[in-house]
Amino acid sequence: MSAALETVLARAGLKVTANEFLTLVEDAAKKLTSPQGDPAAHFNDAERVALSEAGLDLTPLGETEADPRARTVAEQAVLRDTALSVNQAAERIGVDTSRIRHRISERRLIGWKDRGGWRLPAWQFTDTDVLPGLDGVLALMPVDQPALVLANFMTTPQEDLELGDRPASPREWLLAGGDPQRVAALAATIGTPA
């Protein structure tokens, strides 16, 4: 399995060994998943009744059912592995590390604190700079959303952003010179009911 995993990681452009990646997955699983296999155990009797009446199924997964959390755990591991350190971000865009920290504090870049310091999602950067129009987009992104939610928004094609004859991701849209205000308006709705 290790050789197959290393092949997949290399094709995806991830510079990590199979063992390092599996450690990232394990860490993400610990953070994102509950060790409790029975969802109903998290609630008291009244809450279980209310949730069941609302249509939620609180039965544990069967032995043959795929765990829906697996995709999130893998995405979290990739997000963490591809994120830049403050030093890497500063080097990429040609500024001092203090400028990166200042941009984070002003919410002109987003990141999270991890072992060893700040981690900044790679989707915010080009090869030599920050994503065009990023300041305006981040200004309207909800601050209460996890980094993975924001990464998925920025890298998933949106019907409201078309390049040619296909929907584009906000990242693609901005890289192609699209109006950042269109992305900012969409970003403002992250986490709100549809």
Pair (179, 95) in one structural domain: yes
How distant, in Å, are the alpha carbons of 63, 154, 179 from that of 121? 35, 11, 22
Interval 124-172: pLDDT, tens: 999 999 999 999 999 999 999 999 999 999 999 999 999 999 999 999 9
Q: What is the pTM of this model?
A: 0.72
64-71 average pLDDT score: 76
Pair (123, 55) in one structural domain: no
Gap between the Cα atoms of 62 and 60, Å rounded? 6
Domain count of the fold of the chain: 2
Pair (61, 23) in one structural domain: yes
Pair (137, 160) in one structural domain: yes
* Domain around 39: 2-66
Write down the pLDDT at residue 11: 79
| DSSP-assigned letters across all residues of 116-129 | TEEEE-GGGB-SSS
Pair (59, 148) in one structural domain: no
Give the residue from 14, 41, 66 where a domain finishes.
66
Gap between the Cα atoms of 162 and 1, Å rounded? 39
Pair (164, 96) in one structural domain: yes
Pair (36, 100) in one structural domain: no
**73 occurs within a structural domain:** no
Contact 178, 164 (CB under 8 A): no
Give the residue from 43, 66, 89 where a domain finishes.
66
Nearest to 32 by CA among 102, 80, 95, 64: 80
**193 occurs within a structural domain:** no
pLDDT at 3 over 80: no
pLDDT at 1 over 70: no
Q: Which residues have CB under 8 Å from 184's CB, separation 6+?
A: 133, 136, 137, 139, 140
**102 occurs within a structural domain:** yes
Helix (H, G, I), strand (E, B) or coil at 192: coil
Gap between the Cα atoms of 14 and 10, Å rounded? 6
Tokens, residue 145: 């959303």
Q: Which residues have CB under 8 Å from 177's CB, separation 6+?
A: 132
Give the residue from 66, 92, 117 where a domain finishes.
66
